[in-house]
């Protein structure tokens, strides 16, 4: 069973929302027409599922409805139509009281501007969710301290939020969300307010924590690079609708429309695409001249790393599975085409057709790929982090 399922969610602000939903559902009207009537359709027919342990990223520009969508997932906003199923329970049908119980125990949230209570110190902030649950003081302080340690804030318990840097404040926000031991973590542009280096640091730390804690995370961002770094699956939103839903590679290789395509131009594809996405499947490995410096690579090798290998090999690089069987080869010109974004779509399509034939339906593979990708990236990004986990754990997840 999915941890979280959104089922035809609509959120319409303004007058006569139900009628607007009806008209939107049958395609009788569009967002602009409604806006002219003074009605705002923030989210239109959004549907997706999130599996336990996944990081599901919702990517969109401001005004695309992503924050509204997130707030419907924990009932802060009531959907105009549609259902939110959490562990099979329909949140939209719960009484306010039951909904509060779910929010205090099962779903926690991390905010864009941290939303720390300025009149509480770091420990009291981290313990807030437990306090709401009614956990006795001694226990909640122990658990909050643990959560703070987990986020690298041991020793800062007695400090006040305004004494901390932005990154540290957001760690407190994260600790507050983790302290309740909720299964679902909603993160609303949680790293957007941080400067780029700190942001990257926090992304890495989130990935590391995720390997240990295996939360289910819904992460909102307007930054496609961040989405691709973090997301096992990504939903791209535009004007209240989800325009594409898939893995980072899906979006990069097969953008659903020109809108998505215009986004991916800025993405560093060498750190998203893997060997399996760019290789020519079924080709025979080239003969190695004597003393050739080449070595075969795995299918999950990032294109960035693949380049380093190809630079030293006078022939196409061989892609081998973990058991040694040959999956395909990557000619250097193909690498260059992908990197330059030149004919990326065509290249992608070819590769895709071949990959599909070989490895079966893409979707079934998505989690494994994304999981290992996250792993590799976390490891490669910062050597300081003890990121590299045994491969077993990752495959178990998928």
Partner 1 sequence: MPRLPLGDWVDTSVDWLQAQFSWLFDAVSSGVTGLYDGIDAVLSAPQPLLFAGILAVVAWWLRGLAAGVLAFAGFALVDSVQLWDEAMATLSLVLVATLVTLVIAVPLGIWAARSKTVSAVLQPVLDFMQTMPAMVYLIPGIIFFGVGVVPGIIATIVFALPPGVRMTELGIRQVDGELVEAAEAFGTTPRNTLLRVQLPLALPTIMAGVNQVIMLGLSMVVIAGMVGGGGLGGAVYRAIGNVDIGLGFEAGVSIVVLAMYLDRMTGALGRQVSPLGRRAAAKARAALSAKRPGAKLWAHRPQPVTALVGVVVLALVAGGTGFLGGSGTGSTTASGTGGGQGKKISIGYIPWDEGIASTYLWKELLERRGYEVDTKQLEAGALYTGLAGGQLDFQTDSWLPVTHAQYWEKYKNKLEDLGSWYGPTSLELSVPSYVKGVDSLADLKGKAGQFKGRIVGIEPSAGMMGILKDKVLKEYGLEGEYEVVDGSTPGMLAELKRAYERKEPVVVTLWSPHWAYSAHDLKKLADPKGSWGKGDGVHTLARKGFAAENPEVGAWLKDFELTEKQLTDLEAVIQETGKGKEQEAVRTWLDGNPGLAEKLAPQ
Q: Which is nearer to partner 1, 129 or 281 (CB)?
A: 129
Euclidean distance between CA atoms 277 and 48, whole angstroms: 25
The residue among 234, 159, 167, 179 whose CA lies nearest residue 205 is 167
Q: Which of 63, 111, 256, 280 binds partner 1 (CB under 8 A)?
A: 111
| Residues facing residue 57 across a β-bridge | 219, 234
Contact between 141 and 130 under an 8 Å Cβ cutoff? The reply is no
**x/- string (CB under 8 A) for partner 1, residues 161-200?**
-x-------------x---x-----x--------------
Residues numbered 228 to 287 that lie near partner 1 (CB under 8 A) are: none
Q: In terms of CB distance, is 74 or 274 closer to partner 1?
A: 74
* Interaction between residue 368 and partner 1 (CB under 8 A): no
Residue choice 1, 62, 119, 258 for contact with partner 1 (CB under 8 A): 119
Give the CA-trace dihedral at 382, 177, 193, 242, to 10 degrees: 90
Q: Is 336 in the site for partner 1 (CB under 8 A)?
A: no
Burial class (CB in 10 A: 0-12, 13-18, 19+), 194: buried
> Looking at beta carbons only, is 160 or 259 nearer to partner 1?
160
How many angstroms separate the CA atoms of 255 and 313, rounded?
32
Among 64, 108, 247, 365, binds partner 1 (CB under 8 A): 108
Closer by beta carbon to partner 1, 108 or else 372: 108
Under rule CB under 8 A, which residues in 32-91 are in contact with partner 1?
74, 76
- In the bound state with partner 1, the residue whose beta carbon lies nearer, of 217 and 317, is 217
Q: Is-contact 20 39, C-beta < 8 A? A: yes
By CB under 8 A, tell whether 158 contacts partner 1. no
Query: In Å, how far are 74, 283, 284, 298, 327 from 324, measured between CA atoms?
Result: 46, 15, 14, 9, 9
Binding of partner 1 at residue 160 (CB under 8 A)? yes
Minimum separation from the CB atom of position 67 to partner 1 (A)? 10
Number of residues that bind partner 1 (CB under 8 A): 28
Pick between residue 40 and residue 67 the one whose CB is nearest to partner 1.
67
User: What number of CA atoms fall less than 13 Å from residue 336's CA on the CB side?
Assistant: 5
Considering only 31, 66, 103, 269, the residue that binds partner 1 (CB under 8 A) is 103
Among 29, 40, 64, 112, contact with partner 1 (rule: CB under 8 A): 112
Cα separation of 124 and 157, whole Å? 8
CA distance 298 to 146: 38
Q: Which lies closer to partner 1 via its Cβ, residue 121 or residue 318?
A: 121
Give the count of beta carbons closer than 10 Å to the beta carbon of residue 18: 11
User: In terms of C-beta density within 10 A (0-12 exposed, 13-18 middle, 19 or more buried), how is residue 324 classed?
Assistant: exposed
Closer to partner 1 by Cβ: residue 75 or 371: 75
Q: Is 113 in the site for partner 1 (CB under 8 A)?
A: yes
Place of tokens 């800025």: 266
The DSSP secondary structure of 171-238, one letter per residue, reads HHHHHHHHHTT-SEEEEESTTTTS-HHHHHHHHHHHHHHHHHH--EEEEEES-HHHHHHH-SEEEEEE
Q: Give the binding range for partner 1 (CB under 8 A) out of 33-41, 57-65, 99-107, 268-276.
A: 99-107
Among 35, 89, 100, 137, binds partner 1 (CB under 8 A): 100
- 340: Cβ–Cβ under 8 A, 6 or more apart, which residues? none
Instruction: Between 74 and 376, name the residue whose CB sits nearer to partner 1.
Output: 74
Positions 124 through 143 that interact with partner 1 (CB under 8 A): 128-129, 132-133
The residues that touch partner 1, with contacts defined as CB under 8 A, are 74, 76, 100-105, 107-109, 111-113, 115, 117-120, 128-129, 132-133, 160, 162, 176, 180, 186
């Amino acid at each position: 069973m999915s941890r979280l399922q959104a089922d035809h969610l609509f959120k319409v602000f303004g007058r006569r929302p139900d009628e607007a939903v009806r008209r939107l559902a049958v395609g009788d009207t569009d967002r602009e027409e409604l806006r002219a009537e003074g009605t705002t359709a923030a989210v239109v027919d959004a549907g997706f599922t999130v599996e336990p342990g996944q990081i599901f990223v919702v990517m969109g520009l401001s005004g695309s409805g992503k924050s509204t969508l997130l707030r419907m997932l924990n009932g802060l906003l009531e959907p105009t139509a549609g259902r939110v199923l959490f562990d099979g329970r329909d949140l939209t049908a719960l009484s306010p009281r039951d909904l509060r119980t779910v929010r205090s125990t099962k779903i926690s949230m991390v905010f864009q501007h941290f939303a720390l209570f300025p009149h509480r110190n770091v420990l009291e902030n981290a313990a807030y969710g437990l306090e709401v649950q009614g956990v006795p003081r001694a226990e909640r302080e122990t658990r909050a301290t643990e959560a703070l340690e987990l986020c690298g804030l041991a020793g800062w318990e007695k400090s006040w939020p305004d004494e901390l840097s932005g990154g540290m404040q957001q760690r407190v926000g994260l600790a507050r969300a983790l302290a309740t031991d909720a299964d679902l973590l909603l993160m609303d542009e949680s790293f957007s307010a941080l400067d780029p280096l700190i942001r990257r640091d926090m992304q890495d730390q989130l990935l590391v924590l995720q390997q240990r804690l295996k939360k289910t995370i819904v992460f909102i961002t307007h930054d496609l690079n961040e989405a691709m770094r973090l997301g096992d699956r990504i939903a791209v939103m535009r004007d209240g609708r989800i325009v594409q839903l898939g893995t980072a590679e899906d979006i990069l290789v097969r953008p659903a429309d020109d809108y998505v395509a215009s986004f991916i131009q800025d993405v560093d594809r060498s750190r998203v695409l893997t060997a399996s996405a760019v290789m020519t499947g079924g080709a025979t490995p080239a003969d190695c001249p004597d003393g050739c410096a080449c070595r075969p690579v795995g299918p999950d090798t990032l294109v960035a790393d693949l380049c380093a290998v190809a630079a030293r090999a006078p022939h196409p690089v061989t892609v081998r599975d973990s058991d040694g069987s040959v999956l395909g080869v990557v000619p250097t010109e193909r690498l260059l085409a992908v990197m330059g974004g030149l004919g990326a779509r065509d290249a992608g399509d070819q590769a895709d057709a071949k990959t599909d034939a070989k490895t079966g339906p893409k979707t079934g593979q998505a989690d494994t790929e994304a999981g290992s990708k996250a792993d590799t990236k976390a490891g490669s990004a910062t050597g300081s982090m003890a990121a590299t986990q045994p491969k077993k754990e990752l495959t178990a997840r998928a």
